Every structure is written in C-alpha cells, then in structure tokens.
Structure 1
C-alpha cells in the first residue's frame, strides 16, 4: 500500500523528498562502512591482476590493482562456456552497497543462467556510495574514488587479455549503478555496445536528482562535494546522462523498473518464506521503486524527444529488490546478446 499511496499523490518535489527519506532509512538499515584510512598517494604503477582464485565451477575471483585508486579491487568473473575461445564481456555492477550486502553472485541465478553461454561475465566488488565515477577529491571516509577510470580504462584490457575478450562489451547495473552505466558509456564512447539500467535514476543535476544522489552518498558517510563539487558546480551537469542523452545514439539501451506497488515477488511465497526480506521489500523497496519509476518515465520521454531507440520495461508492480532484477536480467539478455554478436 505504500507504493500505491505514493503513486496516486500529485507529482512534485515534495513527494520526491518524502520518498527519498526512505532511501536514507534504507541505507542506514543496511549498515554503514567504517571510517577508511587516508588514501595513499597514487603511484606510477600500471593496473594489473595480482591474484586469481577459483571459487566455484567456472567462477573465479581476481585481485585487480588499480593505479588510479592505488588500491586492490576484488572482481568476480564467470568464465565463458568455452574459456579457451574468444568471448565478449558483460559487466554487471552492484548497487549502493557495492555488493557487501547482497550482490549478483549470491542473490541471483547468474551462474546457471549464463551456463552454456559464450560470454564472460564480470562483477566488480566495492564502490559503495561512489556512483562508480571519478571523484574530484579524496574523501575522508570513502577514500580515493576513480571508478570511471578503473572500469573504462584499466579493467577492460586486463579482462580481455586474461579471458580472450573479443573487444565487444556491454554493461548493466542496479539501483545506483543504473545511473552509472549511462555515465560510463558517455565517458568512454564506443566501449559498450549495450547498457542496461534496472531500477535506476538517470537524472542527477536537477534539484530532485541532487537530493537522491546526496541521499545515496551521505548514507555511506561520503560527501558529494568531493565527488562533483557544490550543487552549483558545472560538474553535476557534466555527469547528468539525461542532459547528454543525445550522445547515446547508436548504443543498445534497456531500462526497467517497477512501480512500488507490491507484485508477485512481494509475497511470503515470492520470498520463499523469508519474512524479514518481505518486510524490507514492503517498507523500503516499495517507496524506493516508486522513485525509480518516476525517474525512468522521465528518461523514456527524453529519449523519445531525441528519437533515440531504447527498450523500456515499465512493470505495473514490483519493489526495489533482487527477485525483480533477476527477471530484468533475463528479459534484457536477448538485447545484449544481439549487441555483442558480430
């Protein structure tokens, strides 16, 4: 009923502020990271893979050193069906928690879904509250954030060399990362043949967008001034995919969202008897998805104005939760598979 109430309220900034209050509460409920040590000075070392560990069947975990962040990032990889043959790469980004409290590998069926598919699936871990962007300054809590450089310049050549990449890439992400995939595509034109946003909010520089971005970053004790400067700084507009959507022409685009109205996966059977999970979905996931529904409709209208083809899956029900994102992945894969095929 929370989602229904919000959807029938008149549109406007006041409604969005109410909804975004739920975001802050949700982030707090998920737990906050401890204070990080001051970021070390970056070195001239090149990015590299420092370690490879087998974790299950075709799954491996890499320790990837980022020269841009002067830090090692864990990256999980599902090898292609034939690991010795060339394969395109599909990057999947986690949400605002960076994968620390639920991620693609432990909350979805990607291992079985991609079994038999000739594609390498790459899931970077970390980046909580970072928007996977390059921050202008080191943050006292979150440290050095240079995720755009890491994801678009450092990681792809390492993955291609290690896993016989074909040079064809696509990327998708949930929630916070549903914004990031657009930003990354704009930062590295031609790198991704397809992008997917599941329950994301692409608009970031208008007042409502800034409230949302601040809520996500502040919930991790980060400061958006260190990310894009004060609210009037032009960097906010420079990183707003809504304003630069024309540059996405020629990229395959898939965008999905629910409405916050409880759906088939928001029942006790839908969560396999997990009452705590159901409570989260109804109390937090419903208003969160009502926000992303508004954002997604704005993006749909923007792309229509620009006559840019895109696939939009506007589900009539559903909350901000993994069960729906698993369905979104399944539904969007044909688009990505076609984009990655020569």
Structure 2
C-alpha cells in the first residue's frame, strides 16, 4: 500500500516520528523510575538488593540478597512471616514488630527452622522473624581488615543494608528485638550493645559472652576463626596487638551499653543434662558457662536492672536446650515488642 503514498507524505511522516522520538526520550530522562520511597535520613546510595524470592513453606520466605558489604556476594535470609503479612500492598502495608533470630557457628539461615519448632510457635504469628545468613564463622562482625582485603562486613550487612531493605520493602518495623545461640548469642549481645536503640531487648543462649575471659577462651575462639582454613587473625586481628578491636566485640566489655534494655542469658555447664545422651560432655559449653557468669556479674556491677539468667546446670551445647530457651525467653522478648504472647489459640 505504501507504493501509492506520495513521497512528500512519507518524508513528512518520517520527520514527525523523529521529532516524537526525541521528545519521548527527553521526557523519559526527566521521569524518576518507580521505586520505594526513602525513609527519613536514608540516602540513595546503592545498597543491598533482593535478586530472588522463594516461598519455601507456609509463612516461610527466603530472600536472596546481593550485598556490597559482603563484596557483592549473594546470601540468603529466611523470613518467618506473620499472619496478614503482605509487603506488596504498599497502600495498606503494615510494619511488623520484628525478632531477629541469629544462627550459630557452622550453621546458616535455615538452622532455626530446621532444628526447632519456631515455625509452629503460635506466639510468633504476630511478629516478623528475620533469620539472616551470617557465614559459617562470620561472628557477626566487620572483619577488621575488610576494607583492604575484601573480607566480609557482616555487621554492616545486617544492621545497615539488610535492616534498611527489610524496613523499606518487606514489612519490617523499627520495633525490634534480637536473640541467638552460640556465635549468634554473641551477635545478639553485640548488636544490641554496639547499636544503642536498635533493639529493645536481647537474648543469648549458650552465647560467647566474654571471649577475652582467659587464655582458654581466646584460644577457643581463635580455633573457630581458623575454621575452613581461614587465617584466625582475619576476623578481629591479633588478641594482643588489636586488643581494642577484641574488646569492642566482647559483650563483657560492652556491659554498660546493655544496662537500659532487658537481657536474657542462659547456659548449661557442659555436663550431661536431661536433654542429652548419657555421658555427653561439652568443653565448649563449660567455657561459655564461665563466660556468661562473668557477663551476668558485670551487668550487675554496672547497674543493669533487667537481666534474667537461667544457668541451668547440667546441659551441653545442643539444640534441644536452645529451643527450650527460646520459648523461655519469648515472654520477655515479646513484652519488649509490646506483643501479647498468647493469642488464645
């Protein structure tokens, strides 16, 4: 059909389309792409981003997150979602009370749901539970030479990048508490102490509460740092030459910063307890038991008034105790969030 159209009309049409395309390109350059609104005080600096979302079970969603603080690596975060959670409804989206639940060394973001009944706990159906990856032995720390050697900055990933991401796009509120086991128990204490006001309460189950207690404790944590053929000095440096860095990651030395919030500490003594096989022992639990007693005494000395301890005697470094202690500490944690622990179910 175009063969019958005068050449002058074809030329005019071409010029018109060219002008429209130029105008459209200018218009698009001035329009800001749709994106979640930045909260007060936030910047537009590129941060962590979700690159995949997987529904793994009822109320369980895994986010695959790419993190600049981790050198561009992608790691996973498991969310145990509350009833009515719908972060994609931006018009009526809620920001939920949030429990950060931290895994221990040699575990990962799936540990809590795999090893405990947390996903079936009725009192958590009104809470968003965040279970982030923290590395096989990341120790919830920005490794001391991370800026030069490309080592991970786990603390920055969790407390800055992931926090902002979850609160912007995934329904997390700024009403938060934090709990964890072993390495994650230390992480829960560290995050609450090193970021005042971020968490309203903290709980540590068999946590590494005072790694500088004595040579045995120092050597033990260095052994963990050396896991997977790592240089043990990569995490906090040398315990003598970088003593200030070690103290900055030792909950005992941060006790004053925990005075104003509820703290829950629990630990066994390393001998066989009611949830162990007969004859079981754990030198690690015995060490952490001494560390937790030292931290409890220091908290009392500095005037902390909201400390709950359950030093239950016989018991090893094992999941049945941590599941039990999670339930024991939930009333305190939920109370700090202002959430009723019993929904009458």
Scaled to the shorter chain, the TM-score interval is: 0.7 to 0.9
TM-score scaled by length of structure 1: 0.77
- The 5-angstrom pairing of residues 173-322 of structure 1 reads 173-208=180-215, 209-232=217-240, 233=242, 234-267=244-277, 282-283=280-281, 286-309=282-305, 310-322=307-319
- CA 1:139–1:315: 2 relative to 1, 3 Å: farther
Q: 1:80 aligns with which of 55, 78, 82?
A: 82
Q: Which runs of 5+ in 1 are unaligned?
A: 1-43, 268-277
Q: 2:170 aligns with which of 163, 176, 199?
A: 163
- State the 1:120 CA deviation: 0.5
Aligned residue number for residue 97 of structure 1: 106
- CA 1:147–1:106: 2 relative to 1, 3 Å: same
Aligned residue number for residue 130 of structure 1: 138
Aligned residue number for residue 22 of structure 1: none
- State the 1:116 CA deviation: 6.0
User: Does structure 1 retain, via aligned residues, the 8 Å contact 2:52–2:64?
Assistant: yes
User: Does structure 2 retain, via aligned residues, the 8 Å contact 1:95–1:177?
Assistant: yes
Aligned residue number for residue 111 of structure 1: 119
Deviations 1:160-203 (A, max 9, x none): 23332231111111111211222222222111111111001211
Q: Which runs of 5+ in 2 are unaligned?
A: 1-44, 87-93, 340-345
Structure of greater relative contact order (alpha carbons < 8 Å, 6+ residues apart): 1
Query: Are residues 1:333 and 2:330 paired?
Result: yes
Aligned residue number for residue 35 of structure 1: none
TM-score scaled by length of structure 2: 0.76
- CA 1:172–1:287: 2 relative to 1, 3 Å: same
- CA 1:126–1:148: 2 relative to 1, 3 Å: closer
Superposition RMSD in Å: 2.3
How far apart, CA to CA, are the structure 1 residues paired with 2:197 and 2:315?
A: 33
- State the 1:301 CA deviation: 0.8
How far apart, CA to CA, are the structure 2 residues paired with 1:114 and 1:228?
A: 39
SS at match of 1:50: strand
SS at match of 1:298: helix
- State the 1:126 CA deviation: 4.0
Deviations 1:21-80 (A, max 9, x none): xxxxxxxxxxxxxxxxxxxxxxx7421111111000110100111111121110011101
- CA 1:329–1:195: 2 relative to 1, 3 Å: same
- CA 1:150–1:339: 2 relative to 1, 3 Å: same
How far apart, CA to CA, are the structure 2 residues paired with 1:125 and 1:106?
A: 14
Deviates more, 1:179-188 or 1:297-306: 179-188
Aligned residue number for residue 54 of structure 1: 55
Deviations 1:139-168 (A, max 9, x none): 99x962101001111111211233322311
**Higher Cα Rg, which structure:** 2
Aligned residue number for residue 15 of structure 1: none
SS at match of 2:253: coil
